Structure 1
Amino acid sequence: MRILVTGASGFVGRALAERLSRDVRYQLRAASRNVSVFPPEIDSCFAPSLGSNADWHQALNDVSAVVHSAARVHVMNDTADDPLVEFRKANVDGTLSLARQAAAAGVKRFIFISSIKVNGEGTKPGHPYRADDMPDPQDSYGVSKMEAEQGLRALASETGMEVVIIRPVLVYGPGVKANFRSMMSWLRKGIPLPLGATGNKRSLVAVDNLVDLITTCIDHPAAANQTFLVSDDEDLSTTQLLQRMGKALGRPARLLPVPASLLQAGAAMLGRRAIAQRLCGSLQVDIGKTRELLAWAPPVSVDDALRNTARAFEAG
């Protein structure tokens, strides 16, 4: 069974490609704009730019399933004149063009890596998002992912190609970048952080857990035409995350018990409200549907995942 993985040199795509390349059940075809990262034994191909005119004909030859992880990703300070237009070109037009070509090529299943941002930006503690909640995206990236999901469901109805949608929360693991890596850098340097009194709850997902779910969805009969949320199934406050990350790094976190309300007020004054929301706000997901429908559970614990992440961080 040949699997095409798009975005195969990205954080999630590369971890998935490595997993599939070791699985005797599957033949991997890795599509990327940077094929030089793959060894010669990997069947890799150059991926066209995401857009409505992209030609995926050769990449889709003899493919049974597509895992589409390539995307124009969310950035904190987008410089595009109209971010929604740019997100739609890649994440909506590009996704649906690939999916239409996949259906025409006889691909049986199309797995779309979406985002929890389709659900929204935050939850009240104890009131997690569920897979079948009404979408409520708050930014251009989330809107584009929602519109791609809607287009894929319509395409599935028209063509009979099965569509599986997976909405991850924040993904971490070896090689993680952005804010997660910054937090590890602060802890390693012993910098005191004013995050010792957050009472929030946030769902995270280790990249190994996400990859395990994607692999499960490749041929699980119950996954067809379903939407799944995914997490480690253990929600942490920012304070707890830093404490356990510090333990994984062997450098106890130096956390100051500043009330979250003061942090949020200060961030608002500095125009950093979104950062404060990520550090102090809650975002929880309920993966009950994922567990029950697929008989799936995260195989890697939070502490093991943090240790793996810390080892790669120290080594790199």
Structure 2
Amino acid sequence: MRVLVTGAGDYLGRRLLEALRRDLPPGSRILGIDRALQPPLENVAFLAVDPFDAGRLAEAVAAFDPTIVFHLAALASVAQSSETPSYAWRADLLGTLNLAEALATSRATLVFLSATVVYGEAFRDLSRPGEGVTPRPDTISGRTKTACEYILRDVLANAGVKHLVLRPSNYIGPGQAETFVVASFAGQIARIERGLAPPCLEVGDLSAGRDFFDVADFTAACLRVTERIPALPDGGIYNVGSGIVTPVSGILDALRGLTDASFSVRIVPERVRAAGVRAEGCDPTAFVTATGWTPTIPLVQSLSAILDEARARLG
């Protein structure tokens, strides 16, 4: 098995590479590509490849001749995409189109990392949509992900190359950037504990609900895909998550229970998403049925690990 991972330097990319090298069958080869050359990882090769450079990307793909490609390269957060819309469209669409064209003559299966944000306005009617719900994206991130799904459907289907789409909900874990809500809370609490920040936590909409699950459970889901690819249908789309919607206030309450620090809470307008307060989860039944995967890490365990890592970063 030869597995190629794009976005190797991103939060999820590095963790997926670590899981692949640990759990793939002996003799498997793994290549991570990113714009910048990445720190070494045992039994993983790295290449610096700009996804905007179609020729260089095609050369790298042809030389490695992958059997499975996990396409993770994209702007990961909704906030980041909103702040840099032009770059978000170029990064997501052009990178995806170049990769699809590079794979058009290969024998690889492409696994594309989309996201449940594609459902957008549909969340107003259904908090846990299944894959049969038509995407109605209302954020730049949701629109670029939806467009990439169409690009792959058109380019790869015409070329006879198999592809799958995973739509994860909100995966969380130690080391995630503070542009994400759980990491933001944990980082602020760690600084409050150390006296490095005033005892006031800045928050957005605490009543908003999300499907939070551990990044290690998501990498386990990706590994399960590598095992089941022959049985999964070409063009298959799968939600991946816990199936449980937790209000952001519940995350805050759980983190309060993990610290002795006292702090107040202040709503900051720039942390409030324009789309408004709502529950955004997913129904992962199809993926669970197709692969036998289920998340195993309790939410409070994930939160404890995230807070401990935020503390450790302070020294």
TM-score range, shorter chain: 0.7 to 0.9
Indicate how the Cα distance of structure 1 residues 246 and 89 shifts in structure 2: closer, same or farther if over 3 A, else same.
same
Give the deviation of 1:314 after TM superposition: 1.9
Which residue does the alignment assign to 2:308? 311
Query: Contact (CA 8 Å) 1:232, 1:302: kept in 2 or not?
Result: no
RMSD over equivalenced CA pairs, Å? 3.0
Equivalent position SS for 1:9: coil
How many residue pairs end up in the alignment?
Answer: 299
Uncovered stretches (5+) of structure 2, i.e. residues with no partner: 194-198
Distance 2:19 2:105 in 1: 27
What are the superposed Cα offsets for residues 201-223 of structure 1, whole Å, 9 maximum, x if unpaired? 32112111111111211241343
Residues 62-93 of structure 1 deviation map (CA, whole Å, 9 limit, x = unaligned): 3101001001344537555xx2x533322122
1:64 paired residue number: 67
Runs of 5+ unmatched residues, structure 1: none
Cα separation, 2, equivalents of 1:233 and 1:304 = 17
Q: Deviations over 1:176-201 (max 9, x none)?
A: 11233221133332635598x95553
Contact 1:111-1:218 within 8 A present in 2 as well: no
Q: How does 1:156-175 map to 2 (within 5 A)?
A: 156-175=156-175
Equivalent residue, structure 1, for 2:127: 127
Kindly indicate whether residue 109 of structure 2 is the aligned counterpart of residue 99 of structure 1: no
Q: Which residue in the other structure is 2:295 paired with?
A: 298
3-state SS of the aligned residue for 1:76?
helix
Return structure 1 stretches of 4+ with deviation > 4 angstroms. Answer: 51-54, 77-80, 192-195, 197-200, 252-256, 270-273
Evaluate the alpha carbon distance shift between residue 298 and residue 219 of structure 1 in structure 2; reply closer, same or farther with a 3 A threshold. Answer: same
1:229 is matched with 239
Deviation per CA, 1:225-256, whole angstroms, max 9, x where unpaired? 21111223332111211122233x43467567
The equivalent position to 2:259 in structure 1, one of 227, 240, 250, is: 250
Larger mean CA deviation between 38-47 and 95-104 belongs to 38-47
Distance 1:59 1:315, change over 3 A: farther
Percentage identity across aligned positions?
21
Given residue 295 of structure 1, which amino acid in structure 2 is its aligned partner? G
The 2-side partners of 1:118 and 1:54 are apart by 30
Q: What displacement does 1:294 show?
A: 1.8
Supply the distance in 2 between the matched residues of 1:103 and 1:292 (Cα, whole angstroms).
30
Quick one: structure 1 residues 215 and 244, their matched pair in 2 at CA, closer, same or farther if it must change by over 3 Å?
same
Q: Cα gap change, 1:209/1:253 in structure 2, threshold over 3 Å: closer, same or farther?
A: farther
Secondary structure of the 1:95 match is helix
Contact 1:51/1:93 (8 A) holds in 2: no
Of residues 18-27 and 206-215 in structure 1, the stretch that sits farther from structure 2 once superposed is 18-27
Please give the TM-score of this superposition, normalised by the length of structure 2.
0.83
Q: Hey, what's the Cα distance between the residues in 1 that align with 2:33 and 2:200?
A: 42
Cα deviations by residue, 1:248-297 (Å, 9 ceiling, x for unpaired): x43467567x9xxxx6xxx7xx57641794xx532121111111222211
8 Å CA contact retained: 2:115, 2:166: yes
Task: Check whether the contact 2:78–2:139 (CA below 8 A) recurs between aligned residues.
Answer: no
Pick the aligned partner of 2:33 from 31, 34, 37.
31
Please give the per-residue CA displacement for 1:130-153, whole angstroms capped at 9, x wherever unaligned: 222101111222211111101211
Kindly indicate which of the two structures has a greater share of residues assigned to strand.
Answer: 2
Aligned partners of 1:29 and 1:43 also within 8 Å: yes
Structure 1 equivalent of residue 283 of structure 2: 286
Q: Does 1:18 align with 2:26?
A: no
Q: 1:133 and 1:51, CA in 2 relative to 1: closer, same or farther beyond 3 A? A: farther
Amino acid at match of 1:213: A
